[in-house]
Chains A and B, each alone.
Chain A
Amino acid sequence: MSSRIKYKMNSDLLLGLLLAAILTIVIESAVYWVRGYRDKDFYLVVLFINIATNLSLNLFGSIIAFNFLFRNGFDSILLILILEIGIYFIELIPLSKMTENKKRIRYSVLIANLTSMILGSLLLYIIQYII
C-alpha cells in the first residue's frame, strides 16, 4: 500500500467523523427548533452532548464493530442501534433538566435522534459518495 493511499484512508476516517458530528448537530438542532425550544443554554447542551455522544458512537462503535466482535453488516447495524438507544437515554438526562415539560422533551429527543440517525446516515452516504 502506497503512502498516498494510507494518507487518504486516514483523512477519510477523520472527515467521516467530523461530517457525522456536524450533520447530527445541525439536524437535531433543527428538530428542536421546530418543536419550539428557543433557549440558548438548551442549544449549548444539545451541541456539547452531541459532540460527546456522536464521537463516542463513531469511535468506539467502529472499533468494536470492525476490529473485535462483529464482521457482518447486519451485526454492525444492530450494534449501532443498541448504542443509539443508550445515546437516547444519555441525551435525555441533561435535556430533561433544562426544561419543565418532561413528557414533551422525551418525544422531542426521540424524534431528534431518529431523524438524525436516518437522515444523517443517508446524507453522509451521499456526501461521501460525491467526495
Chain B
Amino acid sequence: MFLDVAVWPILIFFGIIVIIIVAIIIASILIVVKIVRKHQKKQKALNEPVDVIEDKVQNE
C-alpha cells in the first residue's frame, strides 16, 4: 500500500476542502468580472452624448 490506511481520511478531507476553496476562488473571479462589466456599461451609458441616445430612441 502506498500510504497507511489511517492517512486516507485526512487526505480526502483536505482534498474536499481544497476543491471547495478553488470553487470559491473561481466563483469570486467570475463575480468580479460581472460587476466590472456592468459598471463599465453603466459608465459608457452615462458618458454617451444626448444626441446619440435620442437617435437610438428614434430608431427603436
Contact = CB atoms under 8 A, between A and B. Distances in A.
B36 A59 contact: no
Given A55-B25, A56-B25, A97-B39, A49 B32 contact: yes
A69 B32 CA distance: 32
Contacts of A48: 28-29, 31-32, 35
Q: How large is the interface on A (under 10, 10 to 19, 20 to 34, 35 or more residues)?
A: 10 to 19
A14 interface: yes
B57 interface: no
A45 to B, nearest CB: 5
Interface string B19-46: 0011011001101110110111000000
B36 A45 contact: yes
A52 B29 CA distance: 7
Nearest to A97: B36
A51 B36 contact: no
A101 interface: no
Contacts of B36: 45, 94, 97-98
Nearest to B22: A59
Contacts of B18: 59
28 contacts: A10-B10, A10-B13, A10-B14, A14-B17, A17-B21, A44-B31, A44-B35, A45-B32, A45-B35, A45-B36, A48-B29, A48-B32, A48-B35, A49-B28, A49-B32, A51-B28, A52-B25, A52-B28, A52-B29, A52-B32, A55-B25, A59-B18, A59-B21, A59-B22, A94-B33, A94-B36, A97-B36, A97-B39
